[in-house]
Structure 1
Amino acid sequence: MNASRTVYVIAIAAVALAGVFGAAYLLKMPPFSDDPGHIEANEVCKSLGPTSQAVDALRSVLPEESSYSFNDDVSVRVDNHDDSYRSDCFVSAGGRQLLGARTQMMRDEPTQSWIDGEVAQVAGERNQLRPFSAEVRGVASSSVAAVFLPCASAGNIPGGQYNLSVVIHLEEAGKAENTETRAGLIELAKSAATLAHDRAKCDISLS
């Protein structure tokens, strides 16, 4: 193939490639999509609560990625005398873990003891944790939201009353302001806690 023909072929290929990218841009196909942070509702961890609510909250806290991976692992109680309820949800993208959500059943204890043992270890800046509701034992920052919810009344499980500890840990944040991120994490924690309270067959009412 002579030099002029080679140049001609390269030029044709370049024009064709430009056409492909131009069409992708006009049709809003990746990587030119208007919604790079799209979250597939059917892939979201069920342990995070109602899907639409969880998706909205996740969008407000996660960084924008072309796709997300969800891993949900739930262990249910065998009966009312069992304290083994636990769920773990992990959200990742591009080989990086972005968010983790853990719910576990544990013996009731003073709020500060629970914060020290279950929340502070993932909170980073511990002094950023603030209560977010007068009705719920919960604290949050721009990277963590946690709820300590009554579940099994004393007498069902040896050791007294048992609660559900829900901790949402954001490992990599999106572009939202800290206040918006904190609000999104709180919504996730409350949603996951409400679902877990039902799934764990708790006998202590939330009302």
Structure 2
Amino acid sequence: MTVPMERHIARTRIRDSRLGQHNVRVNPGEYFVTGDSSVMIITVLGSCIAACIRNPLNGFGGMNHFMLPQSDEGEWNGVSSHMRYGNHAMENLINEVMKSGCRRSEMEIKLFGGANMYVGTSEIGAKNARFVTDYLREEGLKAIASDLGGHHGRRIHYWPATGKVKRLLLTGGEDSRVATAETTYRSRLAAAPVEGDIELFG
């Protein structure tokens, strides 16, 4: 089977001539998948979650970046609408990896993010982390590695071709910038409806 090279909604791509690779940045609400061994995927997380999923048989894989809105109102086919964002992000990425010829049981999954960076009782990061771990369990999937929770943001570098991940904890000013950006994104997310239906391949 021919390995598909690339599908994505991430738009930030930079050529790193020093390392001989392309760096692709995945922002909140985006995902990126590739079969190109020269690509490294980067994201910066606060309370958001990134799932890194690959086909270990051919190195095709990618990353998503998502956050659940704070609102608990509304239903989507029996699932509260705020959970639908996480479902959509996970199903998109899983379906893309399965298109490369990977069975669900073969997928290599790693999870990152879910920091509680905000003052108050909402614990947005913990809710995001709980969602993604519950989602995998309900789908009969298992992460081989995870780094969730805490109180600091993370910078994630992921090479789908090999499954290698480098994680850097953020502090000080970087943490503050991530928290501010996520607050803005969360406000937009809470006001926007989720569109489109996703169907998982069996």
Q: TM-score range by the shorter chain?
A: under 0.3
Scaled by the length of structure 2, what TM-score is found? 0.27
More helix by share: 1
Which structure has the larger Rg?
1
